Every structure is written in C-alpha cells, then in structure tokens.
Amino acid sequence: MIRIIRNLLKQLGFQDVDDAADGSEALTKLAQRKYGLIISDWNMEPMTGYELLKQVRGNPEMETLPFIMVTAEAKSENVVAAKKAGVNNYIVKPFNAQTLKDKIEAVFSS
C-alpha cells in the first residue's frame, strides 16, 4: 500500500514523499521534521493509523496537520470514530489517483 500511494502521489506531482511502516515509526519521523500532510492506512501493526491519528491530534505541535485516513473497511463506525478523532478526510480502498487528488484538494480547500 505504501508503494501504491507513493506512486499515486508522484503521478499527482508530489516530489517530497516520505513513508513509515507503522504509526510509531511515523511519530518518530513527525518529531524529526515538519510535514504538510499525513496519509495513513488504518490497518497497521503494531500502532494503527487510528492510534496515530489520536497521537497526532493530542500533540499541540501537530494537532492541525492535515490527516487523511485510508482503509479497506467502509464500516460507518470506523468513519465516525476517525471523524471524532479529528481526521480531515477518509478514503476507502480501492481508489485511484483522481480520488486521492480530490481528497487532498478537499482537505486544503476547507
């Protein structure tokens, strides 16, 4: 999934793309440099994307960082939980470059 999203972002013109294997690695990287957007899969081990979202929103230095959640599960309770935790947008797999572009644009236009 990381490779797919990285390739889609490059197709959309993004050059500076970083990745992490799970939420804890992402938190480490987030502490080391500034990022303009987080795109996270919900299903990661050992720290899930949902847990990452809660950590990011609980940190005053990152609480407004745009965050898009990607998941294969379109369960309404997951969408509601992510919204309550402060996600900016939600993408259900499978998706294409246009869907990703639309979701990113929606986050930055609001």
From the list 92, 88, 9, the residue with the least C-alpha distance to 56 is: 88
> H helices within 12-71, ranges in order?
23-32, 49-57
What is the reported pLDDT for 40? 96
What is the reported pLDDT for 5? 93
Output the CA torsion sign for 103, 98, 79, 1: negative
Q: What is the mean pLDDT of each run of 10 residues along the chain (110 residues)?
A: 92 94 95 96 93 97 96 85 96 94 93
| Token pair in block for residue 42 | 């919900």
What is the reported pLDDT for 39? 97
pTM: 0.94
Give Cα 25 distance to the centre of its chain.
Answer: 14
Q: Which domains does the chain have, with CATH numbers?
A: 2-105 (3.40.50.2300)
Q: Which residues contact 68 (CB under 8 A, 6 or more apart)?
A: 37, 38, 39, 40, 87, 88, 89, 90, 91, 103, 104, 107
Q: State the Rg of the chain over Cα.
A: 13
